[in-house]
Each structure stands twice: as structure tokens, then as C-alpha cells.
Chains A and B, each alone.
Chain A
Amino acid sequence: MSRSKQAVKLKIALAGNSNVGKSVIFNEITGGRAFVANWPGVTVEKKVGRIRFRDVNVEVVDLPGIYSLTPYTLDEMIARRFIIEEKPDAIINIVNAVNLDRNLYLTILLLEMKARLVIALNMMDLAEAEGIKIDVDGLSRELGVPIIPTIAVKGVGTRKVLEEAVKIAKSKQKVNFKVDYGGDVEKALRELTSIIEREADLRDYEPRWLAIKLLEGDENIVSNLKSLGRRALLEKAERMRAELERKLNMNLEDYMIEKRYELVFKLVSKYVIHPRKKATFTDLLDSVLTSRIYGIPILATIVYMMFQFAFKVAEPFMTFIDWLFGTLLYEAVYSTSLPLIVKSFLADGFLVGVGSILVFVPNIALLFLALAVLEDIGYMARAAYVVDKIMHKLKLTGKSIVPMAVGFGCNVPAIMATRPIEDEADRKVTALVAPLMSCMARLPVYLVVGGAFFAAQLGVVVMSMYVLGVLLAFVMAWILRKVFFKAPSSGFIMELPPYLAPTLKGIVVKTWERTKRFLLKAGTVILFAMFLVWVMSVTGPSGWIGVEALSRPELLEESWVGVLGRGLQSVFWPMGWDWRALSALLLGFVAKEIVVGSMAILYGAAEEELPRLLSQVFTPVQAYAYMAFVLIYVPCLATLAAIRSELGTRYMLLALFYELALAYVVALLITGFGALWGGAG
């Protein structure tokens, strides 16, 4: 193929504040075909979509939702580093037409970096409904970038945005935008810029932007230049900064921020006509949904509905999957003429393992579906606002509600979702207590163990586990704050987005992505763990025991699983759990998903028979204490790995040990109180 006919490859990034419809535009542009990875060196999610647009291959990168480009939060650092290092051919800057004065600040920062921008002026329908009139052409001329009005949720304008982005990306045109910082500062900037332009090793940076950052004393830039041995340049910038601060009688960084905001307000007052302030539909709904009296009860009602939806509507799908793996395929494998060891491995190891994972996919998918709807409507931001006052009293922040809510699905993304919390102490405390949120992997244990004793009240018993997790998270947050993180909790800044009708496509894509991530995790770690359980059950200190061990408890007791379980009995004697229940807990270290599957193997029963069997080996109090222990004790390996990569080994160990100790104490208290109440027998 000749060079001229080779497809052009372009990289286009999406940048914007949180809740401006960035994900919707990303899904519209990529058709929902994206893969998720992590940004280099961190565990913040990076969404990338690859599409072919006309004769061009386009890689679309979704940057984290940000308000600025300071070096103080990781999301902003990621965005900044991406623009400097990966030099996207164009950036689609999504701005909220209803709130231009807030959103244009990021636009100014991106233009200062000389990024080639296309502005997607989103939520135009809401702006029109509120009577806001925007002179799009005038604003576009003044900023020197194309501005496309969009209504992302209806797909209006998104194709035009992509077209414009590809056009300007191919043109490679220079960006000439400048903020006028005034005489003395401009003089200093010119001097620094001319020095930077002469330095070959600083060519990665846009010279004027680097000069601005040097005058602002940007920590990250200063440290980078130090490592490049640019001490003379840094000293000169420092001298200039001190001189300018003396003349201006204020901090230079604050001064420059002020100047940018002045420009933003000038642009808004020139090109945007706001109607006289009136109560909007959103304002009225917010007055109720975030009210002091109704905010929390409404949130509780919505959470209740979400869980009823996830648990009860999923029932027929779970029944079918359970029958498919636990009966149909299981019996089909045993009816073949394969050697017994192969049949046992396939049926007792593989099918039981896969079945125990897939059976909960309907629950998980429906929970994620409900979360996606609430997020897209705009309610999750209100939920954060509503609980902020309480969270603050409990030494957390309103923003902690998002990772904690995500934790109900899976603790791994919950740890990752702590990233947008700017305050380091808030973030660490949230990440350390997020594993106490009862993830979906614990649900099978509640259903099976709880189902053995509390079938009539199973919903309430399961809910009590969720409530216990939340309460313990608050208690632990308070303790962690008192002991390890004594700095006061930061304030709460979150823009409440307007209420929007969710799109089917957006919800389906979000639900599928999250469910797929759970399945991938299940398909690797958990399947391996189930294989390990099978091996540890058919072998022991004496060597090979045989697959008969799976159906004969006296043989199973001689296996590695039995030996380890019996060893734990001396520690857990007050709770009265038998060695099989303890072995399942031990195996649950790998992943909580495998506790039930392991129990099925250890008790030599199909999952549907487990409740009946458990009702013979547990008392109701022991069962409830066991459920509580499963809720609290060590997070799964993947969660521990996430904590380690986010906070370091020290905090991972802290999470590991405090949760083990807490689980033991809570289980002991439940057993003790149960005995006092006369329920132990």
C-alpha cells in the first residue's frame, strides 16, 4: 500500500468538568465500543475507544472529569500529563451551556496549553428552557475555536463535534489564544518564554504555558525542572515571582487565577444573556430532594427500591442459571464415560465454580443498571450532597458516598472511585472503610446461610448486613480519623448537575462495562481459586485422597482444607463454627465469591441443598455471626491489591488487620448477645 493511501491516525481527547455529559458524548462518538485500562502508574480508570471516521483512524481518550489543571489532584495531574506527554491532535472540551461561567475556566486553561480545541456546548436544550441565550459565533470568534451546540443525551450535534475535531486535528493549526495578565507579569512571561524557547530539552512544554507555571511556582513543574538540572531558570523565575508579588501585594498564583476568571466573566457577560433569576424545575426538585426533612428518607427509599429491584427481579434468572450449572450440565458431565477424576474436576471444580459466579450476575447487572439510571438522572450527586452533613460529622466527605455506593457492587472500583476526593486524608479514610460496604460477592453467603434460618425475613436479614457494614464504616472512619488522620476533613465542592432523562444506550453501556469487569475478575481469579479448592479437597498431608473426598466428609476432613479448617477451630471456638465453615472462610481470602462454592464442595452438597445442610450444623445466632464475619473480614485479594496500589503496603496491611480484628470482635459480640438472649440454641 502506498504511503498516501495509508489511513491517518489521530488521537482525540475528551475533557470537561464532572457531570457535563462527557461519558454520553464519549459513548455517542465511539458507539459504546471502548476498552478500559488504567492510567500509567495509577489505578484511575482510562477509557479509550478506537473508531474509523471516514478515512481516519481515531483513538478517543476520555480524560477524568476535572475543574482545573492544578497539580493538587491526581485526576487533574493525569489530564495535564496526558496533554503534555501524549500531545493529542485535538481535544473536545465539553462545557455545560447552563453553567458557562464555571466551565469556561477549564477551557481557558486548555487553551493556555495551546491545545487544539473543539468546544461541545452541551445541554443546549436546558439552557434554552431556562431562557439562556448564547452568542455562539461571537464566543467562538473570541476564543478562536469552533463551538458546536449539542444535546448529547439526544445525540444532537455529537457527530458534528467529531467532524470538527478531526478537521482541526488534521489541520495541525497553531493556537494563538492568550490571557492578558497585565504589564509587569506579561513582561516577565515574555522574558521567561524567550529563555525556554532556546532550551532544547524543554521542547515538550509549550513555552508560554511553562513560563506561567514557573511564575505560579507550580510544584510539579518545579520538581520536573529540578530533575532536568534547570536550577538557574528556576532561580530566575523565583526572583521574578518574588518581585511581582511585592509589586502586586498578593500571591502571584492567586493573581493569575483572578485574571483568568476576569476573562471568563468578561466573555460570559458579553456573549451570554441570562434571564432574570427564577426558580427552575431543577431548583424546585432540589428543594425537596436535598431538604433537611426529606433528603435522607427519600435516599433511604431509593436505596431500598434499588436493592429490591436487584434481588427480587433477578430471581428467575438466578433459578435458571443455578439449574443449568448445578443440575443439567453437572449431571451431563457425570453421565459421560470420562475417567472419574476428570468428571469430578469438570463438575465439582469447574462447573460448581462457574455456576457459583454466574448465578449472581443477574443481581449484579440489575444493581449496576439501577446505579447507572440514578447517576444519569443526576440523583447520585444529590445523594452525595444530602449525606455530606452527616458524613462530615463522621469525619468523611459527601463525596465518599460515591465510592461507598459503588462498594455495594464491588470493592475494587470503590477503591478506585476514591480518586476524585481531593483531600488526601479524606481519600485514605474512604478507601480504608470502603471494603466494609457489602459487595455483591458477599451476597451469596447471606442468601445461602441466611436462607437456612431466616427464609421468611431474608430480605430484612440481608439488609441488616448492608446496614451493619455502613455503620461499621462510619465507626471505623471516626476511629481512623482520631488515630491516624487527625487533620480536619475538607469542605464539599460538587456541582449539582441538572436533572436529565437517561438514555437507554448510556445506561446499557455503563451497566455492561461494570458487569463485564466483574465477570472478567470472576473468570480469572475466582476460577483459579475454585480449582485450588478442588485440589486442596482431594489431596492432603498424606498425599492423594481421591475425588471421593468430595462426597465423604470423613475423607474430606483428612484433606488440606480439613487440616487448615480444624486448625482454625482453636481460634474460633467461641463462635462454634465447624471446620468446613472455617475452611470456606479461609478460601474466601482469595475472593468472597468463592465462599459459597467452597461450602458446596466442603459439605459435599449442591448449592440448593446447602441451606438445608447448614440448618443442621449452625444455630441461627452462629449463622448470623458467620454472615457478619464474612461481611467484615479481610477484603478479597483484588481489593487488597487495589488498596496497595492506591495507598501503599502500609495501608493495605492496616486494612487487612483491622478488618480481621473487627470481624472477630463483631462475630464474638453477636454470639455473646445471642447466647444471652437465649437464641444460641
Chain B
Amino acid sequence: MRLKDLYISALGAAYLFYAISSAASWLLSWLDARWPLIIPGAAPDIGLSIGFATIGGLLLQQWMGGDEGFKAAAVLVGSFLAVALMTLQLLVAGASALNAYILSAIGEEWGPSASMELCRADVVLGAFTAPVIRLALRRVREVVGVAARA
């Protein structure tokens, strides 16, 4: 197994870990708000948990069989979703900062700072996954090229 495959697998495992953490955190926040599950970067959000689980599964597809084309496309889609989630969270952080600025300008109370929005698993893992898009694209092109020559 090559180093880059290990890197992708490690990311996949991290996404699955945060999928479980986010789901557990969300469930606990519902059951008893006094005992939140504190895992750095895990937001108590079931929608995010589904997203993490999907990305994790796609990045770990190389361990789960299927033809080369499917595996390559799975990694491409997974990494693309990871970067989309990261971009979304960056936009949310930006919007949060702008909202705080407007609220303070009009003399209203405003919530936690935007920097809190950046310390999340979707941002950090997304940044680590961004380079995978290039690798995955190259692999998909290789598969398409091989099929064309066959």
C-alpha cells in the first residue's frame, strides 16, 4: 500500500470518528443538555454526522472492494464533498463575523466569535483532504485512459 493511500485511509477513518462523535454529541445534547460530549471539533449536529459518515465511507472505499474505476470515483466524490463542507463552514464563519459586526454596530448583543466556527472538524479535515482531489482526479483520468486504450 502506497503512502498516499494510507493518507486517504487515515482521513477516511478520521471522518468516521467525527461522524460518530458528532452523532453522539447531538444525541447527548438532546437527552441531557447538562452533559455535553466534549470532543474538540465535533459539533452536535446530526446532519453533519451523516455528511462525515458519507465522506468517511467514500474515502475508505479502497478497502471495501469494487473495481478500480469505482474506487477512484468514490475518493474523488468523497474529497470533493469534504472540501465543499469545509468551504461551507468558512462561509458560515464569514457570515457569522459579518453578523457580529452588524449587531455590534447597531448596538445589539452578539454571540460567540467567528473563530469558534473555524475550529471544527469539517474545516480542519477538509483542509487536509483538499490535496486528495488532485490525486483522485489523476487516478480517475488514469482509469478512463486505460479503459479507452483497452
Binding site for B on A (CB under 8 A): 131, 275, 278-281, 283-285, 287-289, 291, 293-294, 297-298, 300-302, 304-305, 307-309, 312-316, 319-320, 323, 327, 456-457, 459-460, 463
Docked-complex contact B77 and A289, CB < 8 angstroms: yes
Docked-complex contact A459 and B45, CB < 8 angstroms: yes
Distance in angstroms between the alpha carbons of A283 and B140 in the assembled complex: 11
Residues of B within 8 A of A283 (CB): 69
| Interface residues in B, total, Cβ within 8 A | 46
Task: List, sorted by A's number, 6 A–B pairs whose CB atoms are closer than 8 Å.
Answer: A288-B76, A297-B53, A304-B51, A314-B95, A319-B99, A463-B47
Docked-complex contact A315 and B74, CB < 8 angstroms: no
| Contact mask for chain B residues 33-77; partner A; CB cutoff 8 A; 1 contact, 0 none | 100000000001111101101110110000000000110111011
Which of A284, A307, A323 counts the most chain B CB atoms within 10 A? A284
Residues of A within 8 A of B58 (CB): 288, 294
Distance in angstroms between the alpha carbons of A310 and B76 in the assembled complex: 25
Residues of A within 8 A of B148 (CB): 131, 275, 278
Surface stretch bound by A, among B1-9, B81-89, B127-135: B81-89
Asked whether B10 is an interface residue with its Cβ less than 8 Å from the other chain, the reply is: no
Docked-complex contact A288 and B73, CB < 8 angstroms: yes
Tell me the dominant secondary structure on chain A's binding face. Answer: helix
Which of B54, B57, B70, B91 counts the most chain A CB atoms within 10 A? B54
Residues of B within 8 A of A463 (CB): 46-47
Docked-complex contact A312 and B70, CB < 8 angstroms: no
Q: How far is the CB of A670 from chain B (nearest CB, A)?
A: 16
Known A281-B144, A284-B72, A288-B73; contact A309-B47, beta-carbon cutoff 8 A: no
Which of A280, A302, A304 counts the most chain B CB atoms within 10 A? A304
Docked-complex contact A297 and B103, CB < 8 angstroms: no
The one of B29, B70, B84 in contact with A287, judged by C-beta atoms closer than 8 angstroms, is B70
Q: How far is the CB of B78 from chain A (nearest CB, A)?
A: 9
Asked whether B119 is an interface residue with its Cβ less than 8 Å from the other chain, the reply is: no
Residues of B within 8 A of A293 (CB): 57
Docked-complex contact A308 and B46, CB < 8 angstroms: no
| Contact mask for chain B residues 13-38; partner A; CB cutoff 8 A; 1 contact, 0 none | 00000000000001001100100000
Q: How far is the CB of B46 from chain A (nearest CB, A)?
A: 6
Distance in angstroms between the alpha carbons of A309 and B50 in the assembled complex: 16
Known A294-B54, A305-B85; contact A285-B106, beta-carbon cutoff 8 A: no
Distance in angstroms between the alpha carbons of A355 and B70 in the assembled complex: 50
Tell me the dominant secondary structure on chain B's binding face. Answer: helix
Docked-complex contact B99 and A460, CB < 8 angstroms: no
Q: How far is the CB of A461 from chain B (nearest CB, A)?
A: 10
Distance in angstroms between the alpha carbons of A284 and B72 in the assembled complex: 8
Docked-complex contact B51 and A456, CB < 8 angstroms: no
In the complex, the chain B residue whose C-beta lies closest to that of A459 is: B45
Lowest 4 A-B CB distances belong to which pairs? A304-B47, A316-B98, A316-B99, A297-B54
Docked-complex contact A457 and B30, CB < 8 angstroms: yes
Docked-complex contact B70 and A313, CB < 8 angstroms: no
Docked-complex contact A308 and B92, CB < 8 angstroms: yes
Docked-complex contact B73 and A323, CB < 8 angstroms: no
Distance in angstroms between the alpha carbons of A463 and B26 in the assembled complex: 14
Docked-complex contact B69 and A279, CB < 8 angstroms: yes
| Contact mask for chain B residues 81-125; partner A; CB cutoff 8 A; 1 contact, 0 none | 100110010011011101101110010100000000000000000
Distance in angstroms between the alpha carbons of A279 and B68 in the assembled complex: 12
Q: How far is the CB of B121 from chain A (nearest CB, A)?
A: 14
Known A278-B144, A459-B47; contact A288-B77, beta-carbon cutoff 8 A: yes
Residues of B within 8 A of A289 (CB): 77
Q: How far is the CB of A313 from chain B (nearest CB, A)?
A: 5
Docked-complex contact A313 and B29, CB < 8 angstroms: no
Distance in angstroms between the alpha carbons of A347 and B51 in the assembled complex: 44
Residues of A within 8 A of B48 (CB): 304
Residues of A within 8 A of B88 (CB): 305, 308-309
Docked-complex contact B70 and A315, CB < 8 angstroms: no
Q: How far is the CB of A379 from chain B (nearest CB, A)?
A: 11
Distance in angstroms between the alpha carbons of A61 and B94 in the assembled complex: 41
Residues of B within 8 A of A309 (CB): 88, 91
Docked-complex contact A284 and B70, CB < 8 angstroms: yes
Residues of B within 8 A of A301 (CB): 50-51, 54-55, 81, 85
B 132-148 contacts with A by CB, 8 A: 140-141, 143-144, 147-148
Distance in angstroms between the alpha carbons of A34 and B88 in the assembled complex: 32
Residues of B within 8 A of A280 (CB): 144
Docked-complex contact A287 and B95, CB < 8 angstroms: no
Question: A288-B77, A309-B91, A313-B94 provided; 4 other pairs, C-beta below 8 A?
Answer: A285-B76, A287-B70, A300-B54, A316-B102
Which of B48, B102, B150 counts the most chain A CB atoms within 10 A? B102
Docked-complex contact B33 and A294, CB < 8 angstroms: no
Docked-complex contact A460 and B46, CB < 8 angstroms: yes
Residues of B within 8 A of A284 (CB): 69-70, 72-73, 140, 143-144
Q: How far is the CB of A133 from chain B (nearest CB, A)?
A: 15
Docked-complex contact B99 and A305, CB < 8 angstroms: no
The one of B57, B74, B147 in contact with A279, judged by C-beta atoms closer than 8 angstroms, is B147
Residues of B within 8 A of A313 (CB): 91-92, 94-95
Residues of B within 8 A of A275 (CB): 148
Docked-complex contact B74 and A288, CB < 8 angstroms: yes
In the complex, the chain B residue whose C-beta lies closest to that of A287 is: B70
Distance in angstroms between the alpha carbons of A319 and B98 in the assembled complex: 10
Distance in angstroms between the alpha carbons of A327 and B143 in the assembled complex: 60
Which of A281, A301, A307, A323 counts the most chain B CB atoms within 10 A? A301
Docked-complex contact A456 and B33, CB < 8 angstroms: yes
Q: How far is the CB of A455 from chain B (nearest CB, A)?
A: 10
Distance in angstroms between the alpha carbons of A275 and B91 in the assembled complex: 43
Distance in angstroms between the alpha carbons of A639 and B115 in the assembled complex: 43
Residues of B within 8 A of A320 (CB): 102
Residues of A within 8 A of B73 (CB): 284-285, 287-288
Residues of B within 8 A of A278 (CB): 144, 147-148, 150
Docked-complex contact A308 and B150, CB < 8 angstroms: no
Distance in angstroms between the alpha carbons of A581 and B74 in the assembled complex: 49
Q: How far is the CB of B138 from chain A (nearest CB, A)?
A: 12
Residues of A within 8 A of B98 (CB): 316
Residues of B within 8 A of A285 (CB): 73, 76-77
Q: How far is the CB of A124 from chain B (nearest CB, A)?
A: 19
Distance in angstroms between the alpha carbons of A297 and B54 in the assembled complex: 6
Known A278-B148, A281-B140, A289-B77; contact A298-B30, beta-carbon cutoff 8 A: no
Residues of A within 8 A of B101 (CB): 316
Distance in angstroms between the alpha carbons of A308 and B92 in the assembled complex: 8
Known A301-B81, A304-B51, A313-B95; contact A288-B102, beta-carbon cutoff 8 A: no
Q: How far is the CB of A304 from chain B (nearest CB, A)?
A: 4
In the complex, the chain B residue whose C-beta lies closest to that of A324 is: B106
Docked-complex contact A456 and B29, CB < 8 angstroms: yes
Which of A279, A307, A463 counts the most chain B CB atoms within 10 A? A279
Distance in angstroms between the alpha carbons of A412 and B106 in the assembled complex: 37
